[in-house]
Amino acid sequence: MRKRLRPRRWRVPFPGLPRGAGGAIFGGMGVTDHHVHLYPDALNRDPAGWAALHGEPHWATLCTRRRRDGSPVQTFPSVDELLRSMDAAGVERAVLLGWYWERPENCVWQNRFYADCVRAHPDRFAAWAAVHAGAPAEAVREELRRARDDGLTGLGELSPHSQGAGFDAPGFQAALDLAEQWNWSVNLHVTDPRSRPYPGRVETPPEEFRALAERRPSVRFVLAHWAGGLDVRALGNVFVDTAAGPLLYGEDAWAMVGRTVNPGQVLFGSDHPLRLYPRDDAGSGWGRFVGEARKHGRV
C-alpha cells in the first residue's frame, strides 16, 4: 500500500504560488512543485495513437519521441503513480499544468480531467486550465468559467506560438482579462533562443514576453523554463519556474538567480514526468532535482 503523507488542514485555498505571487506561503509544509503534467488513462495507454486520433502531432513529437539510445523522453504515470512518485521525491503538493493543445476540444478534455483530480486529492493537487489561444474569445471565456467552477485556479501552461496564434489573438486576450479579474496566475512556455535544435522546438521571441508583461502589469505571469534566459528582474509581475532546468542548463541554471531573475521570483518546477537526467538516471530524477533545488535554497 502506498504510504501517504499525512494530510494537513490548509489555511487558505491552495493557489500554487507563494505570497507576492498572489497566494499564501506554505512554510514548513513541504515542497510544492509548480510545473507538473498529467494525462488521462486513455492517453497513457497509447500516447502516439491517441495523438494521431485526436489531431495532436506537435504534442506527439515533443512527448512520445525517444532519445538516441532508444529511451523515452518521459513517462506517462497514472494519478496513483504520480502520487507515489511525489511521496518518493518528497513533493507534498503539485500544480498540474495543462498543455498547449492544437485542438480546443482537447483543452476542454484535459480541464475536466484535472477537475476530477483536484476533487479526489485536494490535499495534493492544484490545477490550472488549458485554453487554445486561437479559439474565439467567447468560447475561451465560457470554458474558463466552467474550469473555475470546477476548482481550477490558474492558466497554463500556455503557448500561443505553438498553437499558431500570437499574443494579440482575441482568445488569448480574453483569457488574460479573466486572469486579471480573478487574480489568476498565467504560466507561459518559453523557449531559450540559444538552445539547441530538437524535434518540435518552437521559437518564442523573448522580447514578446517582456512587452506582454509591460502591457499587462496587473496580470501575474510565470515564465516557464527559467524564462528562456530572459532578464526579468525589473518586471514586478513576472515569476519564473525551474521546469526542465537540468536538461536545458544543467546545474548552471541556478547561477541565473541574481543575474537574470531575483531570488523572490523563482518558483520550483520540475516538468515531471519528463526525464531530467537521462544520461545517468533511468527514472524521472524528480527526487534528485528536489535535492538540487534544496542545496541552492530554492525549496
> In the structure, how many helices (H) and strands (E) does the chain have?
10, 8
DSSP 94: E
Residue whose C-alpha is closest to residue 238's, from 257, 255, 262, 259: 262
- Check residue 29 and give its pLDDT: 56
209: part of which helix (H) or strand (E)? Answer: helix 206-215
Beta bridge partners of 91: 31
Whole-number Å distance between alpha carbons of 154 and 21: 12
Rounded (5°) CA angle 54-58-59:
70
Please list, in sequence order, all residues whose beta carbon lies within 8 angstroms of the beta carbon of residue 232, skipping any fewer than 6 positions away.
Answer: 210, 213, 223, 238, 240, 260, 261, 265
- Check residue 9 and give its pLDDT: 32
Whole-number Å distance between alpha carbons of 90 and 80: 15
Query: In this predicted model, what pLDDT tens digit does every residue of 129-139 receive, in sequence order?
Result: 999 999 999 99
Query: 3-state class of 89 per DSSP?
Result: helix
> Any idea which residue has 485526436 for its cell?
54
State the pLDDT confidence band at 19, using cuts at 50, 70 and 90: very low
Whole-number Å distance between alpha carbons of 15 and 21: 9
| DSSP code per residue over 10-75 | -SS---SS-TTTTS---TTS-EEEEEE----HHHHT-HHHHHHHTT-HHHHHHHS-B-TTS-BSB-
Among 19-23, 33-37, 254-258, 288-292, name the one with the lowest average pLDDT.
19-23
Question: What structural domains and CATH numbers belong to the chain?
Answer: 31-295 (3.20.20.140)
Beta bridge partners of 240: 223, 266
Average per-residue pLDDT for the chain: 91
Q: What percent of the chain has pLDDT over 90?
A: 84
In degrees and rounded to multiples of 5, residue 111 shows phi and psi of -60, -40
Query: In this predicted model, what pLDDT tens digit does every residue of 69-104 receive, in sequence order?
Result: 889 999 999 999 999 999 999 999 999 999 999 999
Among 25-34, 234-243, 248-257, 260-269, name the one with the lowest average pLDDT.
25-34
Determine contact, residues 115/147, Cβ cutoff 8 Å. Answer: yes
* Average pLDDT for 55-79: 94
Determine contact, residues 222/267, Cβ cutoff 8 Å. Answer: yes
Sign of the alpha-carbon dihedral angle for 158, 183, 122, 119: negative
Residue whose C-alpha is closest to residue 248's, from 277, 221, 283: 277
Determine contact, residues 126/14, Cβ cutoff 8 Å. Answer: yes
120: part of which helix (H) or strand (E)? Answer: helix 104-120
188: part of which helix (H) or strand (E)? Answer: strand 185-188
